[in-house]
């Protein structure tokens, strides 16, 4: 049976990633859109999820691609209606709102899937397998990009709950938490806030684990010389580097993995599999690390951010 899916929130990420990936994935079909300001020609369209759910439209599942601040209410509405729910990252604006969603999905017997698309990058699983069998000495994360290029005009991202630089930074955290053999926890957080914004433009974090492993993560939205999306791991077997967001993997500079991006196709394959049994896949560790970064964060005020 093909899963009939509605996208809620047809913004840039939905158009660029979700729509084409759904079209390539067996077992799922995009049948409708719920979005205030966007639609797809020839496809059923509704202004919001409430109107969609109140209609006669045949929908089995929804993919929530709206900003995280309002996503909890949308997820509740979909779960109450017995729909499977896929959550774009981050799964919510807070950690505490997720527990009741998991409980509701369990009550209704439907799938709730909190996606971390970077975990489906081709180098992530090989990196996890490599690190499971060697001593790890240190980890250094560099996740730097130009906010004007990658998030143009997205005012919500600078508001409370929008995460600021942690919107891309949480992708790095989702990779690190997937590949390291032990849980890590935060020791230091320095956050740089533009004087005219409510969310940080840069972050410098230090983590450790039960063995004392040093993990440092640097996130910055002011990089104009090209993107850096890399995780460097010093090990007993050499320096392991994931680069280009997890598309490439190298050991001491020698290539191990170099494959094209297929993250969102991986997400939808996983979603289709989960919905066959109504299984739940909700790992909140990346979001918890971001919450801890704000909890322990030393606030540093920097120059105002101006969109153009």
**Residues with a known catalytic role:** 89
Question: CA–CA distance from 243 to each of 137, 144, 231, 250 (Å)?
Answer: 19, 12, 7, 8
Residue pointed to by tokens 């997937």: 178
Q: How far apart are CA 85 and CA 61, in angstroms?
A: 6
Torsion angle defined by CA atoms of residues 121, 122, 125 and 130, in that order, rounded to the nearest 10 degrees: -120
Question: Cβ(88)–Cβ(112) under 8 Å?
Answer: no
Question: CA–CA distance from 287 to each of 97, 114, 119, 238 (Å)?
Answer: 12, 11, 14, 30
b/e string for 249-268 if b means 16 or more Cβ within 10 A?
Answer: bbbeeeeebeeebebbbbbb
Q: How far apart are CA 121 and CA 179, in angstroms?
A: 12
The tokens for 44 are: 């059923």
List Cβ neighbours of 141 (8 Å cut-off, separation of 6 or more).
172, 176, 215, 216, 217, 218, 219, 230, 231, 232
| 180: enclosing H helix or E strand | none
């Amino acid at each position: 049976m093909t899963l009939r899916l509605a996208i809620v929130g047809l913004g840039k990420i939905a158009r660029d990633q979700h729509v084409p990936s759904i079209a390539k994935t067996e077992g799922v079909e995009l049948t409708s859109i719920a979005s205030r300001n966007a639609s797809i020609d020839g496809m059923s369209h509704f202004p919001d999820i409430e109107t969609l759910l109140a209609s006669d439209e045949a929908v089995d599942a929804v993919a929530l691609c709206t900003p995280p601040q309002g996503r909890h209410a949308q997820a509740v509405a979909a779960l109450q209606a017995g729909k499977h729910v896929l959550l774009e990252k981050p799964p919510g604006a807070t950690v505490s709102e997720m527990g009741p969603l998991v409980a509701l999905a369990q009550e209704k017997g439907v799938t709730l899937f909190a996606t971390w698309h970077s975990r489906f990058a081709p180098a992530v699983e090989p990196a996890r397998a490599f690190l499971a069998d060697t001593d790890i000495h240190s980890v250094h994360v560099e996740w730097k990009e130009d906010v004007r290029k990658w998030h143009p005009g997205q005012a919500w991202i600078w508001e409370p709950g929008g995460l600021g630089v942690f919107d891309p930074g949480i992708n790095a955290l989702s990779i690190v938490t997937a590949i390291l053999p032990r849980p890590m926890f935060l020791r230091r957080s320095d956050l740089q806030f533009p004087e005219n914004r409510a969310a940080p433009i840069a972050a410098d974090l230090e983590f450790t684990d039960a063995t004392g492993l040093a993990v440092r993560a640097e996130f910055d939205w002011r990089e104009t010389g090209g993107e850096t999306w890399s995780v460097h791991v010093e090990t007993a077997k050499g320096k392991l580097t994931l680069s280009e967001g997890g598309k490439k993997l190298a050991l001491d500079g020698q290539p191990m993995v170099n494959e094209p991006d297929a993250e969102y196709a991986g997400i939808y394959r996983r979603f289709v599999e989960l919905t066959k049994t109504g299984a739940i896949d909700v790992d909140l560790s990346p979001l918890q690390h971001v919450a801890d970064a704000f909890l322990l964060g030393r606030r540093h005020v920097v120059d105002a951010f101006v969109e153009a």
